[in-house]
């Protein structure tokens, strides 16, 4: 009996130490309980990443916006889109340019506005927005707001996430609860299904009602390619830092697996994948819809750092065959040169300005004479 105990003593001791480490991490690096605290330390973030999606949502959601995490209100495709300033063309009658997309697109818009005051530059963005979000934002907004030029921002990292429906399933480490439609091809036509809610109010309604929340999960299960119950459901294991890290490793591994079905570092995108086909369709539909709406469509292609010009290469035939205007960042910022990118993987300021200049040049060269006159002859 004693011999047996002696044999298991090290195992028990290791388990005890692991429990101590687990508790110690929770004490030393506690994640701030107040959802409004937006600056936890890097280590606090690091040990929080693996919390379940429901756990993270519980942490950031309160009954009112003032009490909730600021990130909660971003990216919703609801009426808040129409409240953006300027709501419509101002009295100067300058041409309006709207940029839809992720943070890269928003930063581009900011620099375009900074270097050119003959255009009204608006941006409609969401953190980590995937192409489906950007296109849906354009579709939803166009009914209420006319733009002379519409720019659709897409990035390499977003393509494999086209078949997701929410910021909670597409970026496990730091989630955003906003939702967007699930696009799919039906007999070659681009169609979409709307999620049960697309507004912050709708989200709260579902989140605080267990029956509705269950229905939402069922919907996710059916339509969201990245939904995974092991990552989504809140359990007691959320309290353990070790289990959180295990969940994070699992999340990384499943995401990599999913991504590899669409993209490969060496070969680039698989042209036969659903995601690439949907993206091509989105670009064609975006271009045709905008043209029908008398807007000038432009696609802003962000080739992410260390991902080569694969995104440009997979889209080039579609863009050329449909005469879609585009600006691909690889011409100005070689994607394999990290000196052009900052620590958050965005373009460094000077390069972003170059991209903004290039985009304005494209607009100047292609905007119609009618719009030019409207722009007080200042463009150009």
Is position 230 an interface residue for another protein (rule: CB under 8 A)? no
If the CB atoms of residues 9 and 38 are measured against another protein, the closer one turns out to be 9
Position among 190, 237, 242, 325 found at the interface with another protein (CB under 8 A) = 242
| Closest of 46, 178, 169, 48 to residue 102, by C-alpha | 178
Is position 196 an interface residue for another protein (rule: CB under 8 A)? no
If the CB atoms of residues 36 and 349 are measured against another protein, the closer one turns out to be 349
Position among 32, 127, 196, 334 found at the interface with another protein (CB under 8 A) = 334
Helix (H, G, I), strand (E, B), or coil: what is residue 194?
A: coil
Helix (H, G, I), strand (E, B), or coil: what is residue 192?
A: strand
DSSP 347: B
Over the window 272 to 311, marking each residue x when it contacts another protein by CB under 8 A and - when it does not, the resulting string is: ----------------------------------x-----
Q: Which stretch binds another protein (CB under 8 A): 31-39, 139-147, 272-280, 337-345?
A: 337-345
Is position 81 an interface residue for another protein (rule: CB under 8 A)? no
Quote the least distance from Cβ 373 to another protein, whole Å: 45
Is position 10 an interface residue for another protein (rule: CB under 8 A)? yes
Quote the least distance from Cβ 328 to another protein, whole Å: 17
Is position 115 an interface residue for another protein (rule: CB under 8 A)? no
Tokens describing residue 16? 């005890």
Tokens describing residue 198? 């697309």
Is position 18 an interface residue for another protein (rule: CB under 8 A)? yes
Over the window 26 to 45, marking each residue x when it contacts another protein by CB under 8 A and - when it does not, the resulting string is: ----------------x---
Is position 113 an interface residue for another protein (rule: CB under 8 A)? no
Q: Residue 185: which H helix or E strand, with range?
A: strand 182-186
Distance of CA 224 to the CA centre of its chain: 15
Residues in contact with another protein, counted by CB under 8 A, come to a total of 23
Is position 3 an interface residue for another protein (rule: CB under 8 A)? no
Is position 256 an interface residue for another protein (rule: CB under 8 A)? yes
Is position 17 an interface residue for another protein (rule: CB under 8 A)? yes
Is position 339 an interface residue for another protein (rule: CB under 8 A)? yes
Cα distances (Å, whole numbers) of residue 74 to 167, 175, 198: 10, 11, 12
When computed from its CA atoms, the radius of gyration of the chain, rounded to whole angstroms, is 23
Pairing of strands 149-155, 189-193: unpaired
If the CB atoms of residues 11 and 85 are measured against another protein, the closer one turns out to be 11
If the CB atoms of residues 81 and 245 are measured against another protein, the closer one turns out to be 245
Side-chain-facing half-sphere of 5: CA atoms under 13 Å: 2
Quote the least distance from Cβ 241 to another protein, whole Å: 9
Q: Residue 367: which H helix or E strand, with range?
A: none
Whether the link from the prior residue into 46 is cis, omega within 30° of 0, is no
Position among 23, 28, 193, 246 found at the interface with another protein (CB under 8 A) = 246
Say which residue the tokens 């756990």 belong to: 55
Q: Angle, to 10 degrees, between the axis of helix 210-223 and the axis of helix 200-207?
A: 110
Cα distances (Å, whole numbers) of residue 48 to 29, 30, 214, 226, 232: 9, 9, 25, 20, 14
Beta bridge partners of 149: 97, 296
| Closest of 337, 324, 282 to residue 129, by C-alpha | 282
Quote the least distance from Cβ 19 to another protein, whole Å: 9
Quote the least distance from Cβ 257 to another protein, whole Å: 11
Q: Which stretch binds another protein (CB under 8 A): 13-21, 177-185, 269-277, 365-373?
A: 13-21
Round to whole Å and give the CA distance between 362 and 332. 14
Round to whole Å and give the CA distance between 367 and 345. 31
Is position 208 an interface residue for another protein (rule: CB under 8 A)? no
Q: Which stretch binds another protein (CB under 8 A): 9-17, 68-76, 97-105, 196-204?
A: 9-17
**Where do contacts with another protein occur on this chain (CB under 8 A)?**
9-10, 13-14, 17-18, 21, 42, 46, 242, 245-246, 248-249, 252-253, 256, 306, 334, 336-339
């Amino acid at each position: 009996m004693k011999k047996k105990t002696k044999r298991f003593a090290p195992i028990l001791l290791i388990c005890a130490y692991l429990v101590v480490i687990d508790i110690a991490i929770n004490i030393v690096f506690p994640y701030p309980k107040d959802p409004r605290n937006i600056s936890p330390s890097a280590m606090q973030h690091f040990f929080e990443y693996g919390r379940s999606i429901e756990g993270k949502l519980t942490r950031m959601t309160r009954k009112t916006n003032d009490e909730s995490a600021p990130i909660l209100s971003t990216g919703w495709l609801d009426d808040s889109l129409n409240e953006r300033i300027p709501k419509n063309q101002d009295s100067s009658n300058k041409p309006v340019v709207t940029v839809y997309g992720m943070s890269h697109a928003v930063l581009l818009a900011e620099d375009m506005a900074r270097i050119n005051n003959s255009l009204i530059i608006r941006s409609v963005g969401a953190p980590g927005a995937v192409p489906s979000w950007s296109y849906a934002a354009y579709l939803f907004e166009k009914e209420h707001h006319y733009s002379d030029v519409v720019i659709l921002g897409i990035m390499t990292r977003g393509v494999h996430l086209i078949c997701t429906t929410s910021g909670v399933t597409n970026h496990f480490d730091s989630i955003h609860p906003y939702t967007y439609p699930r696009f799919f091809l039906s007999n070659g036509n681009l169609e979409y299904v709307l999620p049960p809610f697309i507004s912050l109010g709708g989200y709260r309604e579902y989140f605080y009602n267990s029956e509705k929340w269950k229905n939402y999960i069922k919907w996710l299960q059916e339509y969201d390619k990245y939904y995974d119950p092991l990552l989504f459901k809140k359990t007691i294991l959320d309290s353990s830092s070790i289990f959180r890290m295990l969940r994070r490793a699992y999340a990384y591994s499943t995401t990599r697996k999913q991504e590899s079905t669409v993209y490969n570092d060496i070969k680039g995108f698989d042209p036969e994948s659903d995601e690439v086909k949907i993206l091509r369709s989105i670009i064609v539909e975006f271009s045709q819809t905008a043209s029908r709406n008398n807007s000038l469509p432009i696609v802003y292609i962000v080739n992410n750092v260390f991902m080569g010009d694969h995104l440009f290469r997979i889209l080039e035939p579609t863009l050329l065959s449909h005469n879609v205007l585009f600006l691909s960042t690889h011409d100005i910022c070689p994607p394999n040169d990290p000196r052009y990118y900052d620590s958050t993987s965005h373009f460094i300021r000077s390069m972003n300005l170059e991209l903004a200049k290039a985009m304005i040049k494209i607009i100047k060269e292609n905007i119609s004479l009618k719009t030019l006159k409207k722009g007080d002859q200042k463009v150009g």
